[in-house]
A and B are shown apart, each in its own frame.
Chain A
């Protein structure tokens, strides 16, 4: 048990209250504050310079402040280029990348939990945490596969049974994990184990649900994936630039580097960027059409008749702007109006995700989530603002854009038994007759 008491290597300027808790043996009667104080210092002072050698050599003649700036800048461009490449590679690759990002984020947060609670020697925890991640992913991916790959699933016998009893199977798998957790409770580590259980579940709630909403958005049309993510990235960069050049008034105590000038400048810049980007992208079918799985070619296709949202329409310009621009009407895609809503959310509420992550890092006294990306920190550091965005886009689409899907309904209808189909047919017929859509002689059988 003494391993649990080992203090991690501390940074020289750790707060003084850590030092007074050297006293051992406080198992009974220990309170939460004691556990937390004992678990305070986290050894994340890794080597100050973990940038790749090649960058180091290239920038060796700059002072360290500018070098840091350049490292960040180069990595930013590299990430943006990577983003373009994976978009080009198509939906399947995107899904895989989203899954990898999710696993990495989960790993980063769980590792922080381990560091905070010194729970290295509860081996069940790693296993159980990863097992729960697997279960929840199995559940969500199964639901997605059942929805979108319906005909493929119906053809293959084992897949059909798996999808029919999907919820039951997922629940059983989760229960097994739950029972394993209960059986693994060890007398002296109860509280720690419950904390890790809670930590795992909250992490799953955050990371896995968001990533699946991202994939749902993607299937709606790649533009619903690209525009929101680009708006958040643009807001990050623009707010930084505006703050760098014009920043004076601090925004919030949590993140002392953020300023009001950066916030407002970033907001306007992002709205403009969103308008331009959606204009450019709305012209292409491959971005605008829902992603569908074609059974004949056994691959994803993005081919359709673009919906009204992506057809140019004329809008009358209000009086105010008419004199400025000198045009009476303007041709826009309706989607551009929606993009204003998306960019606004990305600039005004998205940063709260960033503040949440900053608060989290301060609470647990870590500088970055991990050191995966030189100059930027871990994957979570890059994705903290995206986290709310994915949910917002999904809710936005469900509320304002998407109606029920007729082809999906027909698919489900065809899986029923004949007597159930007849029952539905009769209900439908009386429903339509009530609405006056069926005249006496035109009942199509």
Chain B
């Protein structure tokens, strides 16, 4: 079962690339090529924050594995202290690197780095936490956002007339609304198809005996077919009394709604950012599409929403898992 490793590493790779793209824009904007400390310090801070977050994740999910190794136990136990000490070292290096004529520039780059870290690194770790909850919580939201992007574009292309927002002149209300309905339907169907398989539905766990990730479990009630009685007007249309649905499909409606209505604001934010700094695309990594950030700008709010959704409405055991396993 290599999907766990593959997923984790891809997310890390994407996060590093997004960070690199945004930092490069910062360098260009502030012309700070000749402050060599800045590249070093920015990457150092990226490393520190990732170390902190990955350490917390490892401590949670690999608890049995960690208990066996002595050095790892020490690292886990004093994890916060070590992360903080590493961060402080970077902070002190920043203060010592302040050069007389470049104070303002250096503070701007410091702030730019921190805001970028806040955006990219926290999102990517929420994505990984969602992934560990069950791959369906990773696949359905991301595909809903992608579906919304594509269907909004198609609806806009064929029926688009009324502009939506000045920031993105190509977006139209017809695209927006058409995309919303198609995404809800798509999410509903995708949730139905994926809910059948244990592979997607079970939390990802690390089994020490086989030394790999497994997704095997008794699917929770969220993923067991239940009968719902249809409201009267649908009864007439479909000519059935009840319908068998997975409860997860109801949740998927909430996820798709968010993806279609609020997700685009992430895209508008990125458009505004590009206009503010007079760049056409974040980078030129993907031909025809721009950089990695261009593809992931709408996902950015989605990951946080899914995480907050899971902790508020779905998951009861998180606190206990942490406390008991330690």
Contact = CB atoms under 8 A, between A and B. Distances in A.
Given A198-B112, A398-B80, A427 B324 contact: yes
Nearest to B97: A359
Interface stretch (B180-188, B209-217, B240-248, B271-279): B271-279
A201 B118 contact: yes
Interface on chain A toward B: helix, strand, loop, or mixed SS? helix
B279 to A, nearest CB: 12
B118 A179 contact: no
Interface stretch (B101-109, B145-153, B224-232, B287-295): B101-109
B319 A412 contact: yes
A185 B316 contact: no
Interface residues of B, number: 56
Interface residues of A, number: 59
A190 B276 contact: yes
Nearest to A178: B265
Interface stretch (B3-11, B41-49, B87-95, B128-136): B87-95
A202 B117 CA distance: 11
A187 interface: yes
Contact of B316 (A191, A398, A416): A416
B323 A165 contact: no
A254 interface: yes
Interface stretch (A2-10, A292-300, A389-397): A389-397
A205 B81 contact: no
A362 B277 CA distance: 26
Interface string A353-390: 00110011011100000000000000000000000100
B158 interface: no
A363 B103 contact: yes
Contact of B167 (A179, A185, A359, A416): A185
Contacts of B202: none
B81 A395 contact: yes
A167 B276 contact: no
A409 B272 contact: no
Contacts of B305: 171
Contact of B262 (A179, A199, A413): A179
B30 interface: yes
Nearest to B268: A182
Interface in B244-282: 262, 265, 268-269, 272-273, 275-278
Contact of A424 (B103, B112, B320): B320
B239 interface: no
A213 to B, nearest CB: 11
Contacts, number: 125
A187 B118 CA distance: 26
Given A165-B312, A352-B91, A399-B81, A31 B106 contact: no
A175 interface: yes
B323 A32 contact: no
A37 to B, nearest CB: 10
Contacts of A428: 324
B103 A175 contact: no
Interface in B278-326: 278, 301, 304-305, 308-309, 311-313, 316-317, 319-320, 323-324, 326
Nearest to B274: A190
A409 to B, nearest CB: 6
B196 to A, nearest CB: 25
A413 B88 CA distance: 37
Given A32-B31, A202-B111, A349-B88, A254 B276 contact: no
Contact of A412 (B78, B88, B107, B320): B320
A364 B104 contact: yes
A168 B269 contact: no
Contacts of B165: 183
Contacts of B94: 356
A11 interface: no
Interface in B43-100: 77-81, 84, 88, 91-92, 94-96, 98, 100
A168 B91 contact: no
Contact of B115 (A166, A202, A252, A409): A202
B317 A420 contact: yes
Interface of A: 28-29, 31-33, 36, 164-168, 171, 175, 178-179, 181-183, 185, 187, 190-191, 193-194, 198-199, 201-202, 205, 252-254, 349, 352, 355-356, 359-360, 362-364, 388, 391-392, 395-396, 398-400, 404, 409, 412-413, 416, 420, 424, 427-428, 431
Given A254-B95, A409-B323, 5 more contacts: A171-B305, A175-B262, A194-B277, A395-B80, A399-B78
Which A-B residue pairs are the 5 nearest by beta carbons? A190-B276, A363-B103, A399-B81, A168-B312, A363-B104
30 contacts: A29-B278, A32-B31, A165-B312, A167-B308, A178-B265, A178-B301, A181-B269, A182-B265, A182-B268, A187-B166, A190-B275, A194-B273, A198-B111, A198-B112, A202-B115, A252-B96, A352-B91, A352-B95, A355-B95, A359-B107, A363-B106, A395-B80, A395-B81, A399-B77, A399-B80, A404-B326, A413-B320, A416-B316, A424-B320, A428-B324
